[in-house]
Structure 1
Amino acid sequence: MFKFPRRAGAPYRLSLRRLALWAGAALLASCSWMERQPPVPVEERGGATPSGTAASPASPASAASAPVPAPPGTLERPRARWVPATFNELPGWGQDRVAEVWPALRLSCGSAALASLAEAWGSVCSQSRQFYPADDAQARQWLEQRFKVYRVESLEGDPAGLATGYFEPLVEASRKPTRHRKVPLYAPPADLGQRKPYWTRQELDSLPAAQAGLKGREIAYVEDPLDALVLQVQGSGRVRVAEPDGSVRLQRLAFAAHNDQPYRSVGRWLIDQGELAAGEASWPAIKDWLKRNPKRLNEALWQNPRTVFFREEPLPDPALGPKGAQGVPLTPGRSIAVDPQSMPYGTPVWLDTTEPLSTKPLQRLVMAQDTGGAIVGAVRADYFWGWGDEAENQAGRMKQPLRAWVLWPK
């Protein structure tokens, strides 16, 4: 999903995967964003999050640290443990507009992931489809009557984690190359399966033999190479395409394939070059550096050998984001990417964090509907901001401390 002009999950993740929708983190770095890709295996799809490949403070236990005894009633997950808690322990529970989560909850209930958990979720999902909360108080009461609360911790008992953000890019494009729009976005090359690994990004940009497979696979053209990079890092995005007949169409470019090359962070490279400090490698800072150093643009872009190819998809409901790893559309402000070994897809999650570069609380109920290669650890969330300039700015700067609780049917 950036505007980096801004995931995605698997098959669509297929995941968005996108792999958008995702993935998580991190565009470019260990403090950077990583590419969201399709889901079928969840590879590295670091999604669009500024956190980069860095795992959260609550990442899986190392061989040197043994899990501490869990309190009574604790539920064990492969990479986390859920400790019994109460709704009264949720910071800001009474202030969130929880009724806003209902569309995302219903989407999750319609997924295969929850259908396979019919014993636990069957009744709750059936009731959620028939219940339309009149206000937030009624929605809270409904949830409190049907769910138990668990605090999420690492296997060592650490409740601290990391929240990052991602978004869906919106890019202006033309169906044919123009004076200003000359950077092509490609469908998978016809010979993609004939060469393993496929050509690198640099080879595709510079070698005639590599470019032969791309001939005729152009979907659209954008003005800025950074627009193309952001779409590839996010794994999908929205494009406003100018057609040859003068009409303009808004549609989505979804992840279709990549060139089987490893993802390398441009942000990490800039840090190693001494161009950015580790704490400065947000997407806006990376974007600014590239614009100030146009002669080094290819040098920077070629540090990442991976290239993503797309497929066109209609955009029937502009209010919904790309599909995440759960296979359902993401909802701005109410969907997150998680480590499914910590929190299963479809799980309602209460976040206690802050907005980027501020102490303003971000405490709200969201749905675990996506994942990413950089989204690893017990208390780890990649928050989907949506699309547009504000979503890009927020997602690109988000790297906040996090505590999380899950809601699970009684």
Structure 2
Amino acid sequence: MTPGSGLAAFLLLTVSALPLPLSAEVSLLEFSALKGWESDNHEAALEVFRSTCEDMTFGDWSAVCALADRATDARTFFETVFRPLLITDGSPALFTGYYEPELVGSLKESERFSVPLYRRPPEAPETGEWFSRKEIEDLSVLKGRGLEIAWVEDPVEKFFLQVQGSGRIRLEDGRSIRVGYGGKNGHPYRSIGEELIRRGVFEAHQVSAQVIRTWVRDHPEEGADLLNHNPSYVFFREVSQVPAHMGPLGAMDRSITGGRTIAVDPEFVPLGAPVWMEKDGASPMRRLMVAQDTGSAIRGAQRGDIFFGTGGQAGRRAGRVRDGGRMIVLLPIEEALARIDGS
């Protein structure tokens, strides 16, 4: 994903308190209408909610967070303090998955480790477009400037690391460093999977992250061109201060939790809010999540990206998710009623 800095997170939280986009339609639901609500582990959801709640300082959220700290029964807390809202914008619900990759790398460039992960250059603007991915790679505008954090083996693994927004780099001596989102070049994200379908290389049901990896490696020149189809380029920062047992930093600059964190569009869902997820598909999920992250491809009232954790197994689980369903945000009672009134 694309977690922001502390300032970015503050701005997102502020925006979340503003009225919803005009395209939004809002329906007030009862907890009894949430499929599987009574069977979930509400205690686990409350623990994750508490981890970022203190950063929600607008509206009624400060009072809600104080109650969360004193809550002794999680389900009763959620049902007493919140009301479920179904927010739609005319687009169908879509759930995908993401994870924290783990790559092999080095702090020094070598024949094996030749693909650099860069910090954000000081001249890159905070807003607006800078050089595209192709220009950055072809013109070597970052090379040799001391912006390298580490080097990895494979351009396609670097690409997927940039898509995920954070990851761990396992060094040859057994140590690891962690990198997080450090900014981007301002260009919109374009799906290379969709581009492979458009070119007629694969049909939609055939495309997965592993299929893309294999195809790029088997077709080096065409593969490089495919990666450059996505002009968006993510820079990193080292965040090794985050303990190894905790998840990577999300958009609220706090660690996120596998199976309980969901990335959302903050135009519709406040960051930090509980979100009831009803994901359909081959592996249905009915679970109370917390909206602790965002992503450049996560746009719309019913768009959610589920964080599955760290490493290859989490990546495989995340890569299989592309399902419908519905997503219901829990808001404090007064704010929920205000949304219904259109204010």
State the TM-score, normalizing by the size of structure 2. 0.84
Paired position in structure 1 for 2:5: 11
SS in 1 for 2:325: strand
Deviates most, 368-377 or 169-178: 368-377
- Kept in 1, the 8 Å contact 2:271–2:292? The answer is yes
Structure 1 stretches of 5 or more lacking a match?
A: 1-6, 18-37, 43-75
One-letter amino acid of the counterpart of residue 112, structure 2: H
C-alpha deviation, 1:191, in angstroms: 5.1
Q: How is 1:4-403 mapped onto 2 (pairs within 5 angstroms)?
A: 7-11=1-5, 14-15=8-9, 77-78=20-21, 79-111=23-55, 114-117=56-59, 120-131=60-71, 133=72, 138-150=73-85, 152-154=86-88, 160-189=92-121, 192=124, 198-207=130-139, 210-211=140-141, 214-242=144-172, 246=173, 248-354=174-280, 358=282, 360-403=283-326
| In structure 2, distance between residues paired with 1:325 and 1:212 | 26
> Deviations along 1:60-95, whole A, 9 cap, x unmatched?
xxxxxxxxxxxxxxxx83243332222211111122
Structure 2 stretches of 5 or more lacking a match?
A: 334-343
C-alpha deviation, 1:369, in angstroms: 1.7
Give the aligned CA root-mean-square deviation in angstroms. Answer: 2.9
One-letter amino acid of the counterpart of residue 69, structure 2: R
- Kept in 2, the 8 Å contact 1:12–1:39? The answer is no
C-alpha deviation, 1:238, in angstroms: 1.7
| In structure 2, distance between residues paired with 1:326 and 1:191 | 25
> Deviations along 1:258-287, whole A, 9 cap, x unmatched?
344444332232122211223433322212
Number of residue pairs aligned between Structure 1 and Structure 2: 327
- Kept in 2, the 8 Å contact 1:334–1:366? The answer is yes
Q: 1:262 to 1:406 in 2, by over 3 A?
A: closer
| In structure 1, distance between residues paired with 2:6 and 2:321 | 25
> Deviations along 1:18-69, whole A, 9 cap, x unmatched?
xxxxxxxxxxxxxxxxxxxx97999xxxxxxxxxxxxxxxxxxxxxxxxxxx
> Deviations along 1:152-173, whole A, 9 cap, x unmatched?
14256x8x51111111111111
- Kept in 2, the 8 Å contact 1:9–1:39? The answer is no
| In structure 2, distance between residues paired with 1:316 and 1:387 | 14
Higher fraction of helix? 2
- Runs of 4+ aligned residues of structure 1 deviating over 6 Å after TM superposition are 38-42
C-alpha deviation, 1:354, in angstroms: 3.1
Q: 1:102 to 1:153 in 2, by over 3 A?
A: closer
Q: 1:238 to 1:85 in 2, by over 3 A?
A: same
Paired position in structure 1 for 2:340: none
Pairing 1:404–2:327 present: yes
C-alpha deviation, 1:336, in angstroms: 0.9
Paired position in structure 2 for 1:55: none
- Kept in 2, the 8 Å contact 1:190–1:214? The answer is no
C-alpha deviation, 1:362, in angstroms: 0.2
In percent, how many aligned pairs have the same letter? 35
| In structure 1, distance between residues paired with 2:264 and 2:232 | 23
C-alpha deviation, 1:237, in angstroms: 1.6
